[in-house]
Structure 1
Amino acid sequence: MVFLAEWGDRSQVSTIAMAAGSDYGLVILGGTVGHAICSSIAVLGGHFLASRLSMRTVTLSGAFAFYIFSVVYFYNAWYDFE
């Protein structure tokens, strides 16, 4: 499912464009290193937050955020309908 969600995103299109005009090996290396750095930051940030916040706090925060999103989208759909 993640494969389908990420198919054709901007980073993939820009990587293909760079590979067309540059050395393939360097583009692959740069893309791999960049992805590894971003993933490492996400893992370290998640570990930091997990050690500071309880699962209940995270769950309630997520539920509250989704509730706010639903209210905003419902309002936009109801009043901005043309």
Structure 2
Amino acid sequence: GKGKGKGKSGATAASGLAALCGAVFTKALTLTFLAEWGDRSQLATITLAARSDPLGVTLGGIAGHAACTGLAVIGGRAFASAISERVVLAAGGALFWVFGVQCALTALAEGQG
């Protein structure tokens, strides 16, 4: 028949795409949730919701987060094509250490003052 082979491979491709998107979606959801939980923007949103219309705060928060994440995805794609992942990881690790040392030195200085 005309579409026997195509139907089977099409179904396999569709299930493979669904599995990949599901895995990517789950990773993105988990990373974003854990990174954002308890940060200053969440606390500010809680405060704003206590004083303002919760629906407006919810919709504004979703739009703001979507815009920020969208820019990160677009920037990440552009960045990834220009710089290797190894360089990005090394730079991120170096910055992590720099900020860690800065925080430690600040804490020590405040403890002595």
Same fold per TM (> 0.5)? Answer: yes
State yes or no: 1:52 paired with 2:82.
yes
Partners of 2:48 and 2:92 lie apart in 1 by 37
The aligned counterpart of 1:26 is 56
Match of 1:35 among 29, 46, 65: 65
CA apart distance, 1:14: 1.0
Cα deviations across residues 30-64 of structure 1 (Å, max 9, x unaligned)?
A: 00000001101111111001111123433444455
Instruction: Assess, with a 3 A threshold, how the Cα gap between structure 1 residues 73 and 15 changes in structure 2: closer, same or farther.
Output: closer
Which protein has greater RCO, CA pairs closer than 8 Å, 6+ apart?
1
2:43 partner letter: V
Partners of 1:70 and 1:24 lie apart in 2 by 37
CA RMSD, Structure 1 to Structure 2 (Å): 3.1
Structure 1: give runs of 5+ residues left out of the alignment: none
Instruction: Assess, with a 3 A threshold, how the Cα gap between structure 1 residues 4 and 64 changes in structure 2: closer, same or farther.
Output: closer
Larger Rg: 2
Partners of 2:47 and 2:81 lie apart in 1 by 40
Q: What percentage of aligned pairs have identical amino acids? A: 47
* TM-score normalised per structure 1: 0.65
* TM-score normalised per structure 2: 0.50
